[in-house]
Amino acid sequence: MIYCCDEHVDLAIDIVVDEYETFPQLTKLEEDKKLSTTCEYCQNNAIYVVANE
């Protein structure tokens, strides 16, 4: 699972596709989780979760 901002969502999708060779699931974070979760690439607030399942 990769938490990412709007700017890095493409990078997160590419990484999941490369690692698991399957199309990832893109889920928007709920409002209460957006405040405390940061992007794994830039420390901005995360907006999406990219996962293989």
C-alpha 24/C-alpha 33 separation (Å) is 20
Give pLDDT, residue 35.
72
SS3 content of the chain, % helix, strand, coil (to 5): 30, 25, 45
Residue 49 pLDDT? 95
The reported pLDDT for the residue numbered 45 is 93
> Tell me: the pLDDT tens digits for 1-53?
999 999 999 999 999 999 999 999 999 998 877 778 899 999 899 999 999 87
Predicted pLDDT of residue 31: 83
Q: For position 32, what pLDDT does the model report? A: 76
What tokens appear for 30 in the block? Answer: 């709920």
**In the block, residue with structure tokens 């889920």:** 27
Give 9's DSSP letter. H
What is the pLDDT at residue 34? 72
